Amino acid sequence: MNPDFESLKSEAAAWIVRLTSGAATDHDADSLKRWRALSPDHERAFREAARLWQGVGHAAAPPARKTGITRRAVLSGSLAASGLLAAAGLSELGYLPSLDALTADHATAVGEQQVVTLPDGSVATLDGGSAIALDFSKRERRLVLRAGAAVFEVRPEAERPFVVVAATGITETAGGSFAVDYGPAEVSVDCLGGDVAVACVDTIRLTPGEGVRYSERGISDVTTSDAEMSASWRKGLLTFRNRAVADVVSDLNRHRRGRVVVADRAAGARRITGVFHLKRPEEILSHLETTLRLRRVDMPGGIVLLI
């Protein structure tokens, strides 16, 4: 192995530790971009270091201090706001790009949407806080949705399927369109056009107007989806139909800087339905407060705790 390249990988690892430490700044993110652009070897070293980092669960990082958040700690005021901000990290709050975004082929910032023309002529529309990595070959057109949500309008190719991996499932089509939303509780897939196959333990084929949800436990039954409301974020709306609260909050966090946290795990597992405007996130928060009967605590950095 080239010793110079090994040195670059060490530098890249140091950048990753800095970025994920919770103390990174906008200047750090800009400096890293300049460092990666110095040469193809700099970029390759960063990507290899990032893959290693993600694969070993951040083993290279210094031990982090435990910062569990409890109802008693918040209500008593014993949890310092500055400590919470440091624990959350600026990338988690949407102020700096995440590691997924930095190592993706295409990524969007919080509140940003982007239309990407893919190498085969297909089109991916990314919601805020989303990241995709491409792995096109002669045999298949493979993408990994690492975070967020996207709509894929696939150019037909009979011999090379279009495959999107998200969490524990795979969505595949020879030519069609579909929406994928990667939430913390589950992944949802809606077929918008053509024929789409979704595999997670079992395989289900979808036609336009149909959708499924899947998680590590398997795949749901087929549900009817409204094409006008699927991926409604493209129209400035967030639409939820029988969605887990944890996924609703995840979608909200992709569109506002800071972080909404539901401290009650049982509340996060509950399912709700509603339509909200992205430009009025306070309406979503008020709905969650009322529906879940939780108390809201506002903290610096745009952090909102529902406890």
Higher pLDDT, 80 or 295: 295
Residue 95 domain-assigned? Answer: no
Lowest mean pLDDT among 55-69, 111-125, 284-298: 55-69
Residue 128 sits in a domain whose CATH number is: 2.60.120.1440
Kindly state whether residues 151 and 43 are assigned to the same domain. Answer: no
Q: Which two tokens stand for residue 218?
A: 């398997």
Which of 191, 207, 232 finishes a domain?
A: 232
> Residue 121: how many CA atoms within 13 Å on its side-chain side?
5
Residue 71 domain-assigned? Answer: no
Which of 13, 43, 64 finishes a domain?
A: 64
Q: How confident is the model at residue 32, as a pLDDT?
A: 80
For residues 306 and 272, the answer to whether their CB atoms sit within 8 Å is no
Kindly state whether residues 190 and 129 are assigned to the same domain. Answer: yes
Mean pLDDT to the nearest integer, 281-295? 87
Residue 248 domain-assigned? Answer: yes
Mean pLDDT to the nearest integer, 293-306? 82
Higher pLDDT, 239 or 66: 239
What DSSP character marks residue 140? -
Kindly state whether residues 164 and 217 are assigned to the same domain. Answer: yes
Average pLDDT over the chain, rounded to an integer = 82
Question: pTM for this one?
Answer: 0.74
Kindly state whether residues 149 and 219 are assigned to the same domain. Answer: yes
**Structural domains of the chain, count:** 3
Nearest Cα to 282, choosing from 265, 258, 263? 258
Kindly state whether residues 208 and 291 are assigned to the same domain. Answer: no
Which domain range does residue 40 map to? 3-64
Mean pLDDT to the nearest integer, 160-181? 97
For residues 68 and 234, what is the distance between their CA atoms, to the nearest angstrom?
A: 36
**In this model, does residue 142 exceed pLDDT 60?**
yes
Residue 252 domain-assigned? Answer: yes
Residue with tokens 């993706």: 104
pLDDT (tens digit per residue) in 6-62: 888 888 878 777 766 656 666 777 788 788 889 988 888 887 777 676 554 434 333
Q: How confident is the model at residue 85, as a pLDDT?
A: 44
Residue 158 domain-assigned? Answer: yes
For residues 104 and 109, what is the distance between their CA atoms, to the nearest angstrom?
A: 12
> 177: burial class by Cβ within 10 Å (0-12, 13-18, 19+)?
buried
For the chain, list the strands marked E by DSSP. Answer: 106-107, 114-117, 123-126, 131-136, 141-153, 162-166, 169-173, 176-182, 187-194, 196-200, 202-206, 210-215, 218-219, 223-224, 237-244, 259-262, 271-277, 296-299, 303-306
Lowest mean pLDDT among 10-19, 95-104, 192-201: 95-104
